[in-house]
Structure 1
Amino acid sequence: MIPALSLILLFQLIGEILSRALMLPLPGPVLGMIFLLIALSTSTRIQQIVRPVAQFILAHLSLLFVPAGVGIIAHLDQLRAHGLGLAVALVVSTMLAIVAGAAAFAFVAKLIGSASDD
């Protein structure tokens, strides 16, 4: 378990170092996750090392929601005061994201469709 966790954290550290050193707009943990994905795709040895820990983490994934729940309970008075505004913002932003995604899909579909007609 320790070697697998060390490997996962090593990839996160590499991503963090590269992200900060190169001043990339991509967060270090995301960059590290991409490197880990590449390593997992190319090496069965790394897959064998990481698989048990990954399965353990996924089996207990619900524990990661505890801090968010505690934050909600801790700021319940703020949620009561601004809950309606937050709900409206969530619904509107979700709708806008769906519309933007659909518009981008339609635009790309037209580009691909018009290119195949020529």
Structure 2
Amino acid sequence: MERDVQLVRDLVAVAPGFKDLFEAHVFNEDGVLPHVFFWDVVQETVESFLGGDATDWQVTLRFLEEQLRLDVLEVGQVVTTSFLFNLPWPDQPGYGLVDHLGPALRARFAAIRPSG
């Protein structure tokens, strides 16, 4: 199994709130498309941060921080381009989530979105 697909499966294992989203994704996409799935992960994580969803944003950020530190190319690409880049912008609700990124996530975020 490719590392980016394993990333998705491991996220669902540690954050069961994503299980229904994952099952719908696999059904709709006829498999796992990590970059597509992570668009929904961003939406759910921001909603959780704002208090409107059961998915635990803290578990998600902690998991992604740990995964990014493993320095696996495919994982880093998904986390960077499909999670961090799609976080809310400074004028959007949920931007405060950025203040809770761990050191590895924060460094990547600053590299791809230096103005926030």
TM-score relative to the length of structure 2:
0.30
With CA pairs under 8 Å and 6+ residues apart, which has the higher RCO, 1 or 2? 2
Question: Larger radius of gyration, structure 1 or 2?
Answer: 1
Q: Which has the higher helix share?
A: 1
